[in-house]
Amino acid sequence: MLHARRIAALAGALTLFAIPAAQAAAQDQPMGIRPTRFTAEVYLAQYSLDNAGADGDREGLGGFGGRLMFNRSTASDALRTFFTRASGGVFATYTNQDDFSTLHYGVQGDVALFPAPVARGFLDPFISLGVGAFRTSSDFTGGEGSVVNTDFAITPAAGTRIPFFSGISFRGDLRAPIIFGESTTVNFVAEGGLSLSF
């Protein structure tokens, strides 16, 4: 619980920092985010995992991750077409709490919803779809071994970017990993972090 509070507090602090910086960036860059080819991202993640139990309980886990994305936009694009709004890449997110850890990794595609960022460049909303694997590891008490499961996962998501200044922005996601294990579970993740585009 303490770990989850720290994650939530840090995410809140990042968001408070993002708002005034983004407003300043929006005044300097009315067209919004400058088209780039590569984006590297680091983020914090807060999971709400479905335990697939009869009691319907969920387990909260905090962690961190990274993402590397590529798109075909060029610096001369004033308005983005569908193909230059679309990005593809790889991601990995790790959580660890007591004797239980997860690793969610795979490929993902993002598509910005509008040809240019809205609200004078303040927001660049997108939808996303990830495909990959969700690995869980549970250690037995006393260090006598562990149980590891790796299951197929599909992750629809929506979010937005908020530009700070040229090439750097805040990205926030709400994701819903659907994990196909012994039973199919729908889980929820809130992510927030920094993006560097170049």
pLDDT in tens, 147-178: 899 999 999 999 999 988 878 999 999 999 99
CATH code assigned to 2-197: 2.40.160.20
Instruction: Give the per-residue pLDDT at 57.
Output: 76
The pLDDT tens digits for 98-150 are 888 999 999 999 999 988 788 877 898 999 999 999 999 988 665 567 889 99
The span from the CA of 188 to the CA of 177, in Å, is: 6
The span from the CA of 95 to the CA of 168, in Å, is: 25
The pLDDT tens digits for 69-79 are 998 765 445 56
The span from the CA of 156 to the CA of 143, in Å, is: 36
| DSSP tag of 140 | P
| Ranges 42-46, 49-53, 154-158: which has the least confidence | 49-53
With bands split at pLDDT 50, 70 and 90, how would you rate the model's confidence at 5?
A: low
The pLDDT tens digits for 83-103 are 778 899 999 999 998 888 999
Instruction: Give the per-residue pLDDT at 153.
Output: 98
**What stretches of the chain adopt beta strand conformation (E)?**
38-50, 58-71, 86-97, 100-112, 124-139, 146-165, 168-175, 178-180, 184-186, 188-197
pTM: 0.76
Residue among 161, 178, 179 nearest 170 (CA): 161
| DSSP tag of 54 | T
Domain residue extents for the chain:
2-197
**In degrees, to the nearest 5, what angle opens at C-alpha 71 toward C-alphas 155 and 196?**
85
Instruction: Give the per-residue pLDDT at 74.
Output: 55
